[in-house]
């Protein structure tokens, strides 16, 4: 487990715990078999711990990030690496690298490089499963345009999934952050996309497990 709980999770943990405790208490008060009551209590404890785990802080974050290195913005699995044509912000070919966060992953999001946030846009949308390609276009998401200290720009998307219902971004436009800084959270979900310059040298492959704010995904050329 990480070093404590991130403040963004306090209200979620409190509300979820109250609901779970009330439901389990209601079951316990019903005149039913004792083993069912025991199962209800144990289930409540497991569910509360599960909610807490979503918002745990990671054990380690890079302390001295290198300007031309791209670090993982999330904990999870690399599920997409492909070349696409991005026609809204860059109007050029880019490398898309997508990280899927499982139900057991830390769901905080991290700055992928040293740099400044140039633009932030939030889009309401659907809640398709995050592994599906259409999630990158149709789901609720926040899109961030980041300029690294190298001068290169990249796009980061926080994408809600089937279980997620809210994407939160802490960083504001024109703010500077270093790689590994916590810049957002996807509550109970689910995927982060990076659109990198086409000449980025990648260090990871499909199926690799990555750690937010720690794993080096690749190197920018400049």
The pLDDT assigned to 135 comes to: 56
Say if residue 128 is in the same domain as residue 82. yes
Average of pLDDT values for 145-154?
Answer: 96
d(CA 62, CA 150): 18
- Owner of token pair 């979820």: 16
Residue 59, domain member (yes or no): no
106 band by pLDDT with thresholds 50, 70 and 90: confident
Does 114 share its domain with 18? no
Asked whether residue 95 is domain-assigned, the answer is: yes
Give yes or no: residues 21 and 83 share one domain.
no
Note whether 136 and 208 are same-domain residues.
yes
The structural domain count of the chain equals: 2
Tens digit of each residue's pLDDT (9 = 90 or more) over 159-198: 886 555 578 899 999 999 999 999 998 876 688 999 999 9
Whether 146 maps to a domain, the answer reads: yes
112 and 200 both lie in a single domain: yes
CATH number, domain with residue 74 = 2.70.70.10
Coil/strand/helix, residue 94: strand
* Summary count for the chain: helices (H), strands (E): 3, 14
> In terms of domains, do 91 and 187 share one?
yes
Task: Give the tens place of pLDDT for each residue, 64-94.
Answer: 899 999 999 999 999 999 999 999 999 999 9
How far is the C-alpha of 182 from the C-alpha of 57, rounded, in Å?
10
Report d(CA 165, CA 186) in Å as an integer.
Answer: 8
Q: Do the beta carbons of residue 106 and residue 73 sit within 8 Å?
A: no
- What is the span of the domain harbouring residue 28? 7-54
Same domain? 31 vs 133:
no
126 is a domain residue:
yes
Active-site positions read: 190
pLDDT in tens, 108-138: 899 999 999 999 998 886 665 555 566 556 6
Asked if residue 74 and residue 50 are part of one domain, the reply reads no
Global pTM exceeds 0.85: no
Number of Cβ within 10 Å of residue 206's Cβ equals: 12
Same domain, 96 and 180: yes
């Amino acid at each position: 487990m990480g070093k404590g709980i991130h403040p963004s999770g306090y209200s979620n943990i409190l509300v979820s715990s109250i609901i779970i405790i009330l439901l389990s208490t209601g079951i316990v008060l019903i005149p039913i078999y004792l083993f069912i009551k025991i199962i209800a209590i144990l289930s409540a404890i497991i569910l509360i711990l599960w909610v807490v785990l979503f918002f745990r802080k990671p054990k380690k974050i890079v302390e001295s990030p290198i300007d031309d290195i791209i670090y993982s913005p999330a904990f999870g699995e690399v599920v997409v690496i492909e070349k696409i044509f991005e026609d809204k912000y860059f109007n050029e070919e880019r490398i898309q690298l997508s990280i899927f966060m499982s139900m057991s992953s830390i769901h905080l999001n991290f700055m992928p490089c040293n740099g400044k946030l140039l633009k932030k846009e939030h889009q309401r949308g659907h809640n398709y499963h995050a592994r599906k390609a259409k999630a990158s276009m149709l789901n609720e998401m926040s899109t961030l345009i980041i300029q690294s200290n190298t001068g290169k720009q990249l796009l980061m998307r926080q994408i809600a999934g089937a279980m997620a219902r809210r994407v939160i971004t802490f960083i504001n436009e024109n703010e500077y952050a270093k790689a590994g800084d916590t810049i957002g959270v996807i509550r109970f979900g689910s995927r982060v996309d990076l659109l990198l310059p086409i000449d980025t040298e990648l260090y990871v492959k499909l199926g690799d497990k990555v750690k937010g704010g720690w794993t080096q995904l690749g190197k920018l050329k400049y």
